[in-house]
Amino acid sequence: MEQTTTNVEVAPRDHVILPYSPSWVDRLTASVERLPGPAWLYYLAAMALFSVAYFLVKWWESGLPVLFSRTILLTIISAFGYLGTIHYLDKIASDAMARFRPAIEAPARRVADLEYRLTTMPARMVWLMTLLGALAGTLVLAGTVSGVLVYPGFHGFASMPAAVLEVSVVFLVWIFFITCAYHTVHQLHTVNIIYTELTKVDLFNQGPLHAFARLAAYTAIALTIPQYLWFTAGLTAAAFGVALGFLCVAIILGAITFFWPLYGIHRLLAAKKDKLQCEASRRQEKSLQLFAQAFDKEEMAAMGAIGDAIRNAENEQQIVAAIPTWPWPPGLLRGAMTAVFLPLIIWAATRILERFFGP
């Protein structure tokens, strides 16, 4: 029989009963993936298409110079950015699952089921997220029309073509934002199940366990970084409060999404490490007892051999104590924290300098 290097054989997708139908967002990203060329090019093209269409409408309304709001441009970028984020994180998750296979110890059908869940959202839940996004977009449009939310340079609904584009973009950004938030919860919950249910824990071979740490870090960054873009739009009053609130929520969610899916395997690694430490401590205690007995009997030759055993036990304890129990490679946590907090520090420092040295 042919030998394999993994502990599980992947069941063919045709023989797996899918737990649910894929969502319309998954069908859309799958269609983009099948197109020739890199996927990011199509999301960039969608941003450009909407931006150019809005520019032409504003040109038709008022002529040159065109009064083009930075707010609507950020909304267009954010909308397709969230959709692209879902697509990109699914690709990272799929790659992570492939690297994680050497640590899997589970039936093939269960592995295939969780692999499907990892990169596919339930259709019904995404329709619910779509409804919630449309509701949120309606509230934002109502706040903009009533004057509660004021965005600098934005003079919306000046004509029917402009109104159609503006309403469409607002609905898209909220639908994709809420869907992206649900995608994060769904995907990282699946990662937590994979870590705690399928994993063969090996303290001395943690390479495969690092596979999903990159996914968790990129998810945390993807949730946070887009929020900083809105601080370049010169928002004031209620609009600035909404942007600041979103940033605070994004930072908290970013921290949760980084640590939560990795906590389950951390507990398993910590438990196994504690077991090894207890065994090493017992060996050291026994060596010390034997050394004391040999000392009392003045057995000098035995004391030398037992002394070597004591030093070996001490080395064992030091080696086990140095084993990490959080499944991420060196530098990943520091890099993720830098990516999340450095823009905030720069923005705060800039505001402070403007207050003291500005005009």
pTM for the model stands at 0.77
DSSP state of 158: S
CA 247 to chain centre: 16
Q: What is the model's pLDDT at position 132?
A: 95
* 166-223 pLDDT per residue, tens: 889 989 999 998 999 899 889 988 988 888 777 777 777 777 778 888 888 888 888 7
Q: What is the mean pLDDT of the chain?
A: 81
Do the Cβ atoms of 218 and 92 come closer than 8 Å? yes
How large is the average pLDDT for residues 141-164?
Answer: 73
pLDDT confidence tier of residue 68, bands split at 50, 70 and 90: low
Q: What is the model's pLDDT at position 176?
A: 94
Token readout for 291 is 């050394």
Spatial distance between the Cα atoms of 257 and 185, rounded to a whole number of angstroms = 8
* 315-341 pLDDT per residue, tens: 888 888 888 888 777 777 777 778 777
Cα dihedral value 227, 76, 26, 218, nearest 10: -30
Domain ranges in the chain? 13-200
* Cis before 324 (ω within 30): no
Spatial distance between the Cα atoms of 122 and 137, rounded to a whole number of angstroms = 22
Q: What is the model's pLDDT at position 60?
A: 76
Q: Mean pLDDT: which of 66-75, 139-148, 152-161 is highest?
A: 139-148
pLDDT confidence tier of residue 235, bands split at 50, 70 and 90: low
What ranges make up the beta strands (E) of the chain?
Answer: none
Spatial distance between the Cα atoms of 340 and 342, rounded to a whole number of angstroms = 6
- Is the Cα dihedral 131, 247, 162, 159 positive or negative? positive
How large is the average pLDDT for residues 297-312?
Answer: 79
User: What H or E segment, with its residue span, contains residue 142?
Assistant: helix 123-146
Q: With 80 as the cut, is the pLDDT of residue 23 above it?
A: yes
| Termini Cα distance of the chain | 79
- In sequence order, what are the beta bridge partners of 122? 22
* Mutual angle of helices 123-146 and 24-34, in 10-degree steps: 100
Q: With 70 as the cut, is the pLDDT of residue 15 above it?
A: no
pLDDT confidence tier of residue 155, bands split at 50, 70 and 90: low
Q: Mean pLDDT: which of 55-69, 103-117, 240-254 is highest?
A: 103-117
How large is the average pLDDT for residues 101-117?
Answer: 83
* 236-271 pLDDT per residue, tens: 666 677 777 777 877 787 788 778 777 878 888 888
